Amino acid sequence: MEFVKSACVYCSSFNGLSEKYQLAAKEVGTLLAKNNIKLVYGGGRMGLMGLVSNAALEAGGSAIGISTTLISTREGINENLHEIIVVETMHERKQLMFEKSEAFVILPGGIGTLDETFEIMTWKQIGLHHKKIIFLDIDGYWSIVFQIHFKRMIEDGFVREIDQNLFTIAKTPDEVIYSLCNGVQPDQGYVSKWV
């Protein structure tokens, strides 16, 4: 069974977030590295972005940061990354992140995270790709979106019921990795935090 070799992580670049989000970001980065899944992300050194990338690097993993000239000037770039790509526009950035990733992991985030996430979901909905999209639902962060608003969109006919299959919701970083590794048990493939 072929495992995912690279995953794009969308998440917040804000500092000072609750410890529960920080710990989850670190654990995702560590587990990606332990399972030989290359991290692709926005390149930032702050917030959950910085935490997930540093954790991946500290665990011996590989990480690619893709930023824009404007964002890298405002927020900085994690200089420890194996590869740093700086492009001019957000469209170029998102396209490159898509091309270099075999799956997408969505951590809690704000407007930028929502923008990236819903675009990649739209691309999947219209058949431009069939890559996994996995939401890490820390403390019910994403449940509100899907149990209330997404459900309403389906009920009112704006979204098809089958579109619930566009994504997976994971409750823990371990579940994220389990999904990325196609549900193969630890002794058969992926490395969990317990190993």
CA quadruple 169, 172, 177, 181: dihedral, nearest 10 = -50
**Is residue 144 very low, low, confident or very high in pLDDT (cuts 50, 70, 90)?**
confident
**Is residue 194 very low, low, confident or very high in pLDDT (cuts 50, 70, 90)?**
very low
CATH code of the domain containing 85: 3.40.50.450
Which residues are within 8 A (CB) of 118 and not within 5 positions of it... i.e. 6 or more apart?
Answer: none
Number of structural domains (the chain) is 1
Cα distances (Å, whole numbers) of residue 189 to 34, 183, 192: 11, 9, 10
Q: Output the pLDDT for position 188.
A: 47
Residue 12 lies in domain: 6-141+167-182
Within a domain: 151:
no
- Indicate if the pLDDT at residue 195 is higher than 50: no
Tokens of 150: 């997404």
- CA 57/CA 33 separation, integer angstroms: 7
Q: Output the pLDDT for position 76.
A: 84
Task: Select the more confidently predicted residue: 162 or 183.
Answer: 162
Within a domain: 111:
yes
- CA 43/CA 122 separation, integer angstroms: 23
pLDDT tens-digit readout, 36-76 = 999 999 999 999 999 999 999 999 999 999 999 998 888 88
Q: Output the pLDDT for position 103.
A: 98
pTM, full prediction: 0.91
